[in-house]
C-alpha cells in the first residue's frame, strides 16, 4: 500500500490527502560534495506547467505538511516537495554534517539531479529560512520566492551549545512525546480542530525513521538558521510573503520586517489563521500563490 521506506503507522492515516501523498513519496539517490555515499532523498512530484514549484517544509517536519496545498497547486503548475537533509523520510546517514550549509548543498544537488531548471521556491517556517539561504547562494536558480510564516530573522539559539549527552538525548525524547507534539500542533493552528488524529500521525510519522534523533541533535548543535536580516536586501526576485494573523509560533512582527527589507515583495495577511496557513487555509494560500505567479510572469 505504502512504499516500504514509509513507517507502518501510515496505515493509520485517515485523511485522503495524507494517504494519497504518502503513497506518492519517492526516494532519489543524491550525490553531494560532502559525502562519499549517495543520500536517498524523499520527494514527490505532481502536475505540469512552466517554471516548477519547489516546496520546503518546516523544522522536524516532512513534505506531508503540504498534503493539502500540493494538489491545489498541481492543477496549473508542476510541483515538487522534498524532505530536507536530516528531516522527513530522507535517509539519515550517520556522521553527516546536518546543518544549514549541508542542507543548502544537498538541496542544490537535489535540484541538479531531479529538476534542472529555475524554480519558484516556497518555504514554510524553517523551510522559509532554507529558501532564503538557497536564493542568496543560487539566485540564478530561483525565479520567484514565496515565504509562508517564515523563519530567518531570529538569531541562532544558544541552546545548541549546551546539548551535551545525555541532555541531547533527553531533549529529543521530550520532543518525541505524543502529548508534547500535540500541544505544539494545537499552538500552530488558530482552529484547534485541525489538530486531529490524522495531523498527529503526519507530524510524527518520520520520527520512526532510523537515526531521527541523532540527525536532529546534530542540526540543533550546529545552531540551525540565524538571521538573514542584513542579507535579504540582496534578493531581487519577486517575493510573496503570506502570514497567519494569529501565528502563535513565530508571532507576527517578522512579517512586517520581511516586507520592509525585501526589495520586491507583496505581503498578504491571512485572518483567522495560525502558523501553518498551507494546512489551515490551503485554498486561500494556493489562490494567492497562483495569482502571484501569473502577475509576475
Q: Answer whether residue 182 is part of any domain.
A: yes
Which of 184, 216, 225 shows the shortest CA–CA distance to 203?
Answer: 184
- Cα separation values, 102 from 107, 206, 264, Å: 8, 20, 28
CA dist 100 and 67 (Å) reads: 25
CA distances from 21 to 53, 64, 73, 92, 187 (A): 16, 7, 14, 21, 24
CA distance 274 to 244: 5
Using an 8 Å Cβ cutoff, are 48 and 131 in contact? no
User: Tell me, what's the pLDDT at 173?
Assistant: 83
Cα of 6 vs its chain's centroid, Å: 18
Residue 156 burial class via C-beta count within 10 angstroms: exposed 0-12, middle 13-18, buried 19 and up: middle
The predicted-structure confidence for 115-141, as pLDDT tens digits, reads as follows 999 999 999 999 999 999 999 999 999
Q: Looking at residues 90-101, what average pLDDT do you find?
A: 96
Confidence of residue 286 (pLDDT cuts 50, 70, 90): very high
Q: What pLDDT was estimated at residue 157?
A: 62
What would the pLDDT profile of 212-263 be if each residue is shown by its tens digit? 999 999 999 898 999 999 999 999 999 999 999 999 999 999 999 999 999 9
Predicted confidence at residue 162, as pLDDT, reads 47
Residue 170 confidence class, pLDDT cut points 50, 70, 90: low
Confirm whether 253 is domain-assigned: yes
Q: Which domain holds residue 265?
A: 8-295
1 lies in a domain?
no
Identify the band that residue 166 occupies on the pLDDT scale cut at 50, 70 and 90.
very low
Of 155 and 59, the structure prediction assigns the larger pLDDT to: 59
Domain membership flag for residue 30: yes
Across the chain, mean pLDDT equals: 94
Let me know if residue 122 belongs to a domain.
yes
Do 270 and 285 meet the contact criterion of CB atoms below 8 Å apart? yes
Total number of domains in the chain: 1
Residue 3 lies inside a defined structural domain of this protein: no
**54 lies in a domain?**
yes
What's the predicted TM-score (pTM) here?
Answer: 0.96
Cα→Cα distances 42→101, 140, 186, Å: 19, 24, 27
**C-alpha cell read off for 154:** 531570529
40: helix, strand or coil: strand
> The CATH number of the domain where 23 resides is what?
3.40.50.1820
2 within some domain? no
Amino acid at each position: 500500500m505504502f512504499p516500504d521506506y514509509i513507517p507502518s503507522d501510515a496505515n493509520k492515516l485517515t485523511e485522503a490527502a495524507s494517504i494519497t501523498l504518502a503513497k506518492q513519496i519517492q526516494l532519489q539517490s543524491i550525490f553531494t560534495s560532502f559525502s562519499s555515499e549517495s543520500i536517498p532523498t524523499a520527494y514527490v512530484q505532481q502536475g505540469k506547467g512552466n517554471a516548477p514549484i519547489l516546496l520546503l517544509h518546516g523544522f522536524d517536519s516532512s513534505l506531508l505538511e503540504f498534503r493539502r496545498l500540493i494538489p491545489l497547486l498541481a492543477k496549473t503548475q508542476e510541483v515538487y516537495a522534498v524532505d530536507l537533509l536530516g528531516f522527513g523520510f530522507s535517509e539519515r546517514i550517520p556522521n553527516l554534517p546536518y546543518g544549514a550549509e549541508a542542507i543548502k548543498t544537498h538541496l542544490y544537488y537535489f535540484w541538479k539531479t531531479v529538476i534542472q531548471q529555475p524554480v519558484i521556491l516556497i518555504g514554510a517556517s524553517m523551510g522559509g529560512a532554507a529558501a532564503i539561504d538557497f536564493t542568496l547562494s543560487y539566485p540564478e536558480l530561483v525565479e520567484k520566492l514565496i515565504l509562508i510564516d517564515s523563519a530567518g530573522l531570529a538569531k541562532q539559539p544558544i541552546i545548541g551549545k549546551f546539548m551535551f549527552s545525555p541532555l541531547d538525548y533527553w531533549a529529543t525524547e521530550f520532543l518525541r512525546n505524543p502529548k508534547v507534539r500535540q500541544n505544539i500542533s494545537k499552538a500552530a493552528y488558530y482552529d484547534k480542530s485541525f489538530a486531529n488524529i490524522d495531523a498527529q500521525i503526519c507530524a510524527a510519522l518520520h520520527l520512526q525513521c532510523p537515526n531521527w534523533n541523532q540527525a536532529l541533535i546534530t542540526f540543533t548543535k550546529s545552531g540551525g538558521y540565524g538571521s538573514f536580516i542584513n542579507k535579504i536586501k540582496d534578493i531581487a526576485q519577486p517575493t510573496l510573503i503570506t502570514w497567519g494573523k494569529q501565528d502563535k509560533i513565530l508571532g507576527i512582527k517578522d512579517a512586517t520586517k520581511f516586507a520592509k527589507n525585501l526589495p520586491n515583495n507583496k505581503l498578504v495577511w491571512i485572518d483567522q489563521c495560525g502558523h501553518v496557513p498551507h494546512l489551515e487555509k490551503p485554498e486561500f494560500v494556493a489562490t494567492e500563490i497562483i495569482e502571484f505567479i501569473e502577475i509576475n510572469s
